[in-house]
Amino acid sequence: MEMLSDYIELAKQLATDFGVKAIVALVIFFIGKWIARLVTNFAKKMMARAKVEDTLERFLSSLLYALLMTVVVIATINQLGVQTTSLLAILGAAGLAVGLALQGSLANFAAGVLLVAFRPYRVGDFIEAGGVAGSVIEVQIFTTIIKSGDNKKIIVPNAQIMSGTITNYSANPTRRVDLVAGCGYDDDLDKVRRVLEGIVQADDRVLSDPAPTIAVSELADSSVNFVVRPWVNSADYWGVYFDLTEQIKKRFDEEGIAIPYPQRDIHVYEHPVNSS
């Protein structure tokens, strides 16, 4: 009976000790969780004051909260008497295995962080990146969603974008329209220049500063080529491009300026046949 009572007393003692540890562990967990939320909300307010982009703010806030809760959970487990050193080693090994299995996803994740941090483009910009071109609909942590000119939804991995060249057509407020207009070698070049200048000046969307460039650029095989390079607001680029191309053809027809087809002169030489 004495031995049984000793076991019972020991069990009571262990239960009491574990109960105290459990209560302290719960206190640590809930207070730690409260502090984690408090710190995360404070970080959100600071990022909002710094005008950090929403995508980056949400990502950093979630990451900060996850890191703080990891510390809280480890402290809670340690209070219960569990050796966290071995647990951390197991978690580290598991994390390494998962990282090796998800190399592509981690690369996209890292590229997404860089895209959100450095912002080479924003939502609404027209870009060419990752082998596609279109308007940016959404920048996510793993992918960027782009809408093409024919209204297709294209999902591009961020690592593919970061590993190549990014061309942002919307980054600057103005763009230069590059056109080439060819005339015949028999046409009056001064007249052609005046006609082109009149076409450009008649379009109100063309900016006066910088001034448009109209100059002879090439003596080609079949034509004399002029470059026509007016500056416009980025939003007017394609409208001006299409309208000027049409106006050049119409005005050249009205003015009798030839737009020559590719041609080649062939010279035929006859050699007398020796009958002897």
CA 134/CA 48 separation, integer angstroms: 29
**Residues 95 and 125 placed together within one structural domain of the fold:** no
CA 253/CA 179 separation, integer angstroms: 18
Residue 137 lies in domain: 121-168
For residue 211, being part of any structural domain is answered with yes
Average of pLDDT values for 194-202? Answer: 94
**Residues 194 and 135 placed together within one structural domain of the fold:** no
pLDDT reported for residue 135: 92
Per the model's pLDDT, the better-predicted residue between 139 and 202 turns out to be 202
Contact criterion met (CB below 8 Å) for 102 and 109: no
pLDDT reported for residue 273: 66
Q: Provide the number of structural domains found in the chain.
A: 3
**Residues 159 and 178 placed together within one structural domain of the fold:** no
Digit-coded pLDDT (tens) for 5-62: 554 555 555 555 556 677 777 788 888 888 888 988 888 888 778 776 666 677 677 7
The pair of structure tokens assigned to 22 is 């459990």
**Residues 132 and 94 placed together within one structural domain of the fold:** no
pLDDT reported for residue 83: 64
Asked which of 101, 134, 153 is the last residue of a domain, the reply is 101
pLDDT reported for residue 205: 93
**Residues 14 and 94 placed together within one structural domain of the fold:** yes
CB count within 10 Å of CB 228 equals 21
Residue 226 three-state SS:
strand
With a cut of 70, say whether residue 150 has pLDDT above it: yes
For residue 108, being part of any structural domain is answered with no
The pair of structure tokens assigned to 201 is 């000046």
**Residues 180 and 153 placed together within one structural domain of the fold:** no
**CATH code for the domain of 224:** 3.30.70.100
Per the model's pLDDT, the better-predicted residue between 47 and 136 turns out to be 136
pTM above 0.75, yes or no: no
List helix spans (H) across the chain.
Answer: 2-49, 54-79, 84-101, 103-118, 158-162, 189-201, 237-255
**CATH code for the domain of 30:** 1.10.287.1260
**Residues 85 and 12 placed together within one structural domain of the fold:** yes
Q: Label residues 126-138 b or e (16+ Cβ within 10 Å = b).
A: bbebbebebbbee
The pair of structure tokens assigned to 262 is 């590719």
Digit-coded pLDDT (tens) for 233-254: 998 999 999 999 999 999 999 9
**Residues 54 and 130 placed together within one structural domain of the fold:** no
Task: Give 144's strand partners.
Answer: 139, 156
With a cut of 80, say whether residue 124 has pLDDT above it: yes
For residue 40, being part of any structural domain is answered with yes
pLDDT reported for residue 163: 86
**Residues 164 and 183 placed together within one structural domain of the fold:** no
**Residues 206 and 245 placed together within one structural domain of the fold:** yes
Average of pLDDT values for 72-95? Answer: 69
